[in-house]
Amino acid sequence: MGLKRRNRVSPNFSMASMTDVIFLLLIFFMITSTVVSPNAIKVLLPQGKQQTSAKPLTRVIIDKDLNFYAAFGNEKEQPVALNDLTSFLQSCAEKEPEMYVALYADESVPYREIVRVLNIANENHFKMVLATRPPENR
């Protein structure tokens, strides 16, 4: 008994649906990347006319409650004591010798706290950048 199938499976594969999925994923990631905030710690920066264009390798953040946070590269900010900040920055400098540090300090932070961090950077010959926000147009 010779039974034959009448419907044959086509060996062709349509990529039309695959390109639609990739296009939608591309749109999704483009939209969500603009929503992501680079700093999870809320700091109201002082205003400044000059803005740095380069991305810092290391971030030191001082919030309004005088809590210190630090992070290297794209890592999440971790709480750090002022006494441990020197060793943290030195370990980051070992990873990247041409590292520079961006200091994000809330505008209500006393100047002496900022100077403490600047002194640590100066003693260890780190390049330091003070982060500001652009001036508001009134």
At residue 5, does pLDDT exceed 70? no
Higher confidence at residue 71 or residue 5?
71
Q: In the numeric block, which tokens belong to residue 122?
A: 């100066």
At residue 21, does pLDDT exceed 70? yes
Q: In the numeric block, which tokens belong to residue 74?
A: 């794209």
How many Cα atoms within 13 Å fall on the side-chain side of residue 138? 1
- Residue 5 domain flag: no
Determine the pLDDT at residue 104: 87
Number of domains in the chain: 1
Q: With pLDDT > 90 as the criterion, what percentage of the chain qualifies? A: 9
> 74: domain CATH number?
3.30.420.270
Residue type, position 83, single letter = N
Q: What is the mean pLDDT of residues 83-96?
A: 88
- Residue 136 domain flag: no
Looking at the DSSP assignment, which residues form a beta bridge with residue 104?
Answer: 61
- Residue 110 domain flag: yes
- Residue 48 domain flag: no
Residue type, position 112, single letter = R
- Residue 68 domain flag: yes
Task: Pinpoint the alpha helices (H) of the chain.
Answer: 16-35, 82-95, 111-123
pTM: 0.59
How many Cα atoms within 13 Å fall on the side-chain side of residue 76? 4
For 105-116, the pLDDT digits (tens) are: 888 888 888 888
Domain that holds residue 62: 56-130
Determine the pLDDT at residue 79: 92
- Strands 100-105 and 78-79 turn out to be unpaired
Please name the helix (run of DSSP H) or strand (run of DSSP E) that holds residue 79, with its range, or none: strand 78-79
